[in-house]
Structures are given as structure tokens and as C-alpha cells.
């Protein structure tokens, strides 16, 4: 689930909840600094649904994190 934006998209949050309730492995991606700038982080009801949250404000570094994770883990 892409988490960029001031707040996560409502429809995507519903889909995340459905996936989580059906025991699907859910992953989050965040490259947007807006919520950090106003001292907000993700609501625990969202963040705790993820197997892993990838958060880096440099897109290239985020891709490196994803590649590293995928080389060591299954989706």
C-alpha cells in the first residue's frame, strides 16, 4: 500500500483492512515527508496491519531497501 500524502487514502485503508482480516501479507511504502513535517506518524490501526513498512524519503534508497528485503524474504 502506498502511504504518500498527508494521510493515507481512505479506500486503500479499507482494502488494507480487508486484506489483513483475510490474513494476507500486507506491505507499506512511504516516501512523503508531509506527515513528518507536522510531527504525525501513521495511525497504529494502519501501521500494525503491515508485515513490513518501507519508509525512506529518497526513492532510490527505498528501492534498495525493497531489493534487499526481497533477496532475503518471500512476499
pTM for the whole thing? 0.79
Mean pLDDT of the chain: 87
Buried-state track 29-47, b at ≥16 Cβ within 10 A, e below 16: bbeeeebeeeeeebeeebe
Q: How confident is the model at residue 35 (pLDDT cuts 50, 70, 90)?
A: low
Mean pLDDT across the stretch 41-51? 87
- pLDDT attached to residue 25: 95
Q: Are 46 and 13 in contact (CB under 8 A)?
A: yes
pLDDT digits (tens, 9 = 90+) for 49-72: 999 999 888 889 989 999 999 999
44 with 72: CB under 8 angstroms?
no
Q: State the pLDDT at residue 1.
A: 92
Amino acid at each position: 500500500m502506498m502511504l504518500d500524502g498527508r494521510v493515507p487514502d481512505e479506500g486503500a485503508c479499507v482494502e488494507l483492512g480487508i486484506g489483513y482480516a483475510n490474513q494476507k501479507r500486507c506491505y507499506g511504502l512511504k516516501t512523503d515527508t508531509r506527515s513528518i513535517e507536522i510531527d504525525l506518524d501513521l495511525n497504529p490501526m494502519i501501521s500494525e496491519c503491515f508485515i513490513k513498512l518501507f519508509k525512506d524519503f529518497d526513492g532510490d534508497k527505498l528501492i534498495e531497501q525493497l531489493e534487499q528485503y526481497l533477496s532475503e524474504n518471500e512476499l
